[in-house]
Homo-oligomer: A and B are copies of this chain.
Amino acid sequence: MTVKVAVAGASGYAGGELLRLLLAHPEVEIGVLTAASSAGTPLGQHQPHLAPLAGRVLRETTPDTLAGHDVVFLALPHGHSGAIAAQLGPDVLVVDLGADHRLAEAADWQRWYTGDHAGTWPYGLPELPGARAKLAGTKRIAVPGCFPTGGSLALAPALAAGLVKPEVSVVSVTGTSGAGKSLKPHLLGSEVMGSASAYGVGGAHRHTPEFAQNLGAVAGERVTVSFTPVLAPMPRGILTTASASLASEVDTTAARAVYEKAYADEPFVQLLPEGSWPTTAATLGSNNAQLQVTVDADAGRLIVVSSIDNLTKGTAGGAIQSMNIALGLPETTGLSTVGVAP
């Protein structure tokens, strides 16, 4: 099978990571690449690491330029995917890396974003219960946010098994690429290096309702999520520390058993050996999520730590994994379980 793929938003970080991975995908032919203000310039100016595509000229993001492909990836700012997607044919597989089609409730969309709610598409986190069935054969995929990817993988097994109460606390340390290439003063290298900072504190981050949606579905009840992202001086990676009160007395061995079972057959999730804790470097550039679980008996809480690469498993890798499922390809096609370290 050769699948012809277009990428809208090829000059940004998500678009660049998509292309990095698609270049290694044996069933993919890379077609049109589009951008907004960078249209008309060669990709090499924006993504010098993608040497084989350096001479490709970026086109404008329109339904016309995106026509004629089997798969269209939309790596656009939030609120821009809905309109474009509506003009792409029903036979094209559209994979939206933005937030537009993630939230089921219009009220959630309107509280956290602006503009009209574009509706919900099958959610591209295959490791969640029931997700693969909805992704198989679909023509529309909503790629999860990077934080809900790392956090949902950390907490879903515990909530599904009833290990913890439905009030979770999540602190995620993230690299800067999650904020994209936007030219904001606090994202300058001089500001970022040597500094950690919190933002979107107190339930203010837009990924909060997505967390609640994922975890509530798994738990079968409403789950309260206290989520705080922390910006750290690294380009990539999310290290999530998630915790919740134990629902009943459980020790670490029993908790690990729940996670071992949940992820035994997952190609991209590794529960680390006891005593080893995740580092983001170990997942860098791979589609892996690495986890460790422990019980703090004194505090009566389950603590789960997960690491992912925000651009790979957290964005572009997860998107391709879901594309593979939708197209009927082996789920791991073109994706690596090997990180780039040190």
Residues of A within 8 A of B (CB): 13, 16, 20, 23-24, 42, 44-45, 47-52, 54, 167, 169, 171, 173, 175-177, 179, 181, 183-185, 187-199, 201-204, 208, 224-226, 228, 230, 232-237, 239, 241, 243, 245, 252, 270, 272-273, 276-286, 288, 290, 292, 294-301, 303, 305, 307, 336-342
15 new A-B contacts, CB < 8 A, other than A195-B280, A201-B305, are A16-B341, A20-B338, A23-B338, A44-B276, A48-B282, A51-B288, A51-B339, A52-B338, A175-B190, A192-B193, A193-B235, A196-B279, A201-B241, A201-B277, A226-B296
Q: How far is the CB of A283 from chain B (nearest CB, A)?
A: 7
Pairwise interchain contact A286-B188, C-beta atoms closer than 8 A: no
Pairwise interchain contact A194-B296, C-beta atoms closer than 8 A: no
Pairwise interchain contact A196-B285, C-beta atoms closer than 8 A: no
Pairwise interchain contact A241-B228, C-beta atoms closer than 8 A: yes
Q: How far is the CB of A63 from chain B (nearest CB, A)?
A: 28
User: Which residues of B are found within 8 Å of A277, using beta-carbon distances?
Assistant: 197-199, 201
Pairwise interchain contact A188-B189, C-beta atoms closer than 8 A: yes
Pairwise interchain contact B188-A183, C-beta atoms closer than 8 A: yes
User: Which residues of B are found within 8 Å of A272, using beta-carbon distances?
Assistant: 44, 48
Pairwise interchain contact B198-A239, C-beta atoms closer than 8 A: yes
A118 to B319, CA, bound (A): 51
User: Which residues of B are found within 8 Å of A278, using beta-carbon distances?
Assistant: 197-198
Pairwise interchain contact B188-A188, C-beta atoms closer than 8 A: yes
Among B203, B230, B279, B284, the residue within 8 A (CB) of A340 is B284
Q: How many copies does the complex hold?
A: 4
A342 to B193, CA, bound (A): 8
Pairwise interchain contact A224-B185, C-beta atoms closer than 8 A: no
Contact A177/B239 with A202-B294, A280-B196 known, Cβ cut-off 8 Å:
no
**Please, could you name 12 A-B residue pairs with CB atoms under 8 Å apart, sorted by A?**
A48-B276, A169-B243, A173-B173, A181-B188, A183-B185, A195-B279, A198-B278, A201-B292, A202-B295, A224-B299, A224-B300, A228-B241
Pairwise interchain contact B234-A305, C-beta atoms closer than 8 A: no
Pairwise interchain contact A226-B303, C-beta atoms closer than 8 A: yes
User: Which residues of B are found within 8 Å of A230, using beta-carbon distances?
Assistant: 171, 173, 239, 241
User: Which residues of B are found within 8 Å of A296, using beta-carbon distances?
Assistant: 202-203, 226
A79 to B317, CA, bound (A): 42
Pairwise interchain contact A47-B341, C-beta atoms closer than 8 A: yes
Among B47, B167, B202, the residue within 8 A (CB) of A252 is B202
Pairwise interchain contact B243-A226, C-beta atoms closer than 8 A: yes
